[in-house]
Structure 1
Amino acid sequence: MRYFIEITYKGTNYHGWQFQPNAVTVQELINNAFSLIFKKKIDVFGAGRTDAGVHAEQLYAHLDVEKDIDIDEVIYKLNSLLPKDIAILNILKVTDEAHARFNAVSRSYQYRIYFGKNPFLTDVTWQVINKKLNVDLMNEAAKILLTYTNFKCFSRSNSDVKTYNCDVSKAVWVQENKSLIFHITADRFLRNMVRAIVGTLIEVGTGKTTLEEFKKIIESKDRKNAGPSAPAQGLFLTEVNYPKNIFINE
C-alpha cells in the first residue's frame, strides 16, 4: 500500500529536507516518527529537497506499508511525536506506482521580502532596510524567465543533474504595504534556483543590472554571471501539484 503524506514545516531549525548523516533534517524526523508508530524502519521519499532554513507550506512525500492504515489515528500520532515546527496535514492513499517526486507536474515557491525591521518575521522573511527597488522593472525581468528553458546560470555550481531545463509558467512580484512577494511556478527547479533568481532580480530592481543584461546572464549559462543568492529564510515551497488519477478515493 502506498500513501502520500502532506507535510508543512518551518525550516529554521533544520538543515533542509533531505537526510544528512551529521545534521538534523525534516526527513530524518519524519522517518523516525513513522518507524516508532509502525515498529519497523520506515523511509519516506519527498517531492524534492529544500535547503537549510527554507520553509514548506506544502510538501508531499510517499511511503509504503503492508496494509491499510487508520489515517486519522496515524496523523494524530505523528503530530504528537514530531516537534512543533513540523506538522502532518493529511495522508492520502495513492496507486502503487505513484511517486512523490516523479509524478509532480508543478511546484510553486514564494520568496518573501519585508521592508523594514520586524522581530516577529526574522526567520520567515528577508528584511530589507535602506534599499529602494523598482518593482515594475523587476516584473519586466521576471516575464523574461517565461521565454527561456535553460536555467543553468541560476543553478548551484557542480549540480549533478541530467538537464538544466525547466518550464517556468509563472513569475511575478506582488507588493502589499511593507511586503514584497515573488511567486514562481515551474514543472521542476534546480538546486538554489529560486534564491539565485531572486538575488539577480534584486540587482535589476536596484539598477545594477539592465533587462538586456538579465537576458545575457540567462544565455551565458554561467552561475558566476548571476547575482548572489537571496537568504534562505525568505523562501517557501507553497504548493506541489499531481495528476488526479494517482489518488485512490475510498
Structure 2
Amino acid sequence: MRYFIELSYNGKNYHGWQIQPDVISVQEKLNIAISTITQVNIQVVGAGRTDTGVHASQMFAHFDVDKVLKGDLVFKLNSILPNDITVYKVFLVDSEKHVRFDAISRSYEYKIWMGRNPFLLDFTWQIHSQKPDIQLMNEAAKLLLEYTDFQTFSKVKTDVYTFNCDVTEAYWESKGNELIFHISANRFLRNMVRAIVGTLLDVGLGKITVDGFREIIESKNRGNAGLSVPAKGLFLTQIKY
C-alpha cells in the first residue's frame, strides 16, 4: 500500500531534502519517524530535492507498507519529528501514484528584504543597496517563458539528462520592504532559481540590460549568469498533481 505525505519544513538545520552520509537531511528524519511508527524500515521518496538551507512550505513524499496503518498518523509523526518539520496529511493512494513523476508543476518563491529585520534573518536575504527596478526585472523575467534550455542557470557539475524546463510563470512583486520572486515550471535544475534571481537582480540594479539577460540565457554558460543568492530566502511553495 502506498501513502502520500504532505509536509513542510524549515530548512535552516538541514543539508537539503536528500539523505546523505554524515549530515542531517529532512528525508532522514522522515524515514526515522515513519519507521518508528510502522516498525518497518521505511525509505520515503520525495517529490523533489531542495538544497541545503532551502525551505518548503509544501512538500510531498510517499512510502510503501504492506498493511493499513491505524490511528492518527499525522499526530504520531509530528510527535516524533523535530519541530522544524511538520506533517499535515497522510493518505492512501493508488499504488501506481508517484510523488515525483506524477507532479505536473512545482512553484518556488524567493524572498528579499530591503534593509534589516532581525525576525526574518532565517527566511529572507537582507540587502542594503538601492532598491532594484522591479519593472525592469519583470521585463527580463518574462523572457524565461520564451526558452526551455536553462543550462545557463544550472549547477555546473550535475548529472541531469536534460537542461530543458517548461517555465509557466515568472514575476516579481513588491510588498513594502519585501521583494518576492515567483516562478513555476514542470521541473527545476539544481541551483536554477537562485541563479535566476541573482541574474535578475543584476538587471534591476543596472549592471546588465534586459537584452543582456536574453544573451546570458542563450549563452548556456553558467559563468555569464549572476551570483547564486543565499538559500535561506528560497521556498518550495506548491506542487501540483
* Fold in common (TM above 0.5): yes
Q: Distance in 2 between matches of 1:132 and 1:173?
A: 13
Instruction: Report deviation, 1:94.
Output: 1.2
Aligned to 2:16: 16
3-state SS of paired residue (2:130): coil
Distance in 2 between residues matched to 1:239 and 1:92, nearest whole Å: 18
Displacement, 1:130? Answer: 2.5
- Alignment correspondent of 1:37: 37
Tell me what 2:226 maps to.
227
RMSD: 0.8
Residue in structure 2 matched with residue 92 of structure 1 by the alignment: 91
Conservation of the 8 A alpha-carbon contact between 2:111 and 2:123: yes
The residue aligned with 1:135 is 134
Give, as a single letter, the amino acid of the residue that structure 2 aligns with 1:40: V
2:171–2:181 Cα contact (<8 Å) kept: yes
Within a 5 Å distance, the mapping from 1:231-250 to structure 2 comes to 231-242=230-241
Aligned to 2:53: 53
How many angstroms does 1:128 deviate by? 1.2
Q: Give me the whole-angstrom Cα distance separating, in 2, the residues matched to 1:41 and 1:90.
A: 21
Letter in 1 for 2:54: V
Q: Distance in 2 between matches of 1:159 and 1:102?
A: 19
Aligned counterparts of 2:13 and 2:195: Cα–Cα separation in 1: 22
Matches of 1:215 and 1:155, distance apart in 2: 16
**Contact 2:125–2:230 (8 Å) recurs in 1:** yes
Does residue 174 (structure 1) correspond to residue 208 (structure 2)? The answer is: no
1:76 match: 75
Distance 1:146 1:10 in 2: 30
* Corresponding position: 1:207 with 2:211: no
Instruction: Measure the CA separation in 1 of the matches of 2:114 and 2:156.
Output: 30
The separation in 2 between residues aligned to 1:169 and 1:69, in whole angstroms, is: 38
Deviations 1:17-65 (A, max 9, x none): 0001110000000000111111121000001100111000000011001
Q: Secondary structure at the match of 1:182?
A: strand
Find the residue that maps to 1:16 and give its secondary structure.
coil
The residue number in structure 2 matching 1:152 is 151
Indicate the SS of the match to 2:72. helix
Q: Give 1:247's aligned residue.
A: none
Partner Cα separation in structure 1 for residue 212 and residue 175 of structure 2: 28
- Deviation readout 1:125-151 (Å, 9 max, x if unpaired): 011113320110000000000000000
Q: Per the alignment, in what secondary structure is the counterpart of residue 162 of structure 1?
A: coil
Shift of 1:93: 1.5
Which runs of 5 or more residues in structure 2 are unaligned?
Answer: none
Unaligned 5+ runs, structure 1: 243-250
Number of aligned positions between the proteins: 241
Give 1:92 deviation, angstroms: 2.1
The equivalent of 1:124 in structure 2 is 123
Counterpart of 1:146 in 2: which secondary structure? Answer: helix
Q: Deviations over 1:63-100 (max 9, x none)?
A: 00112223x61111110001110000101221111111
Distance in 2 (CA, whole Å) between partners of 1:241 and 1:194 is 18
Contact 2:114 2:131 in 1 (8 A): no
Give the structure 1 partner of residue 110 of structure 2.
Answer: 111
Structure 1 runs of 4+ aligned residues shifted over 4 Å read: none
Q: Distance in 2 between matches of 1:158 and 1:24?
A: 22
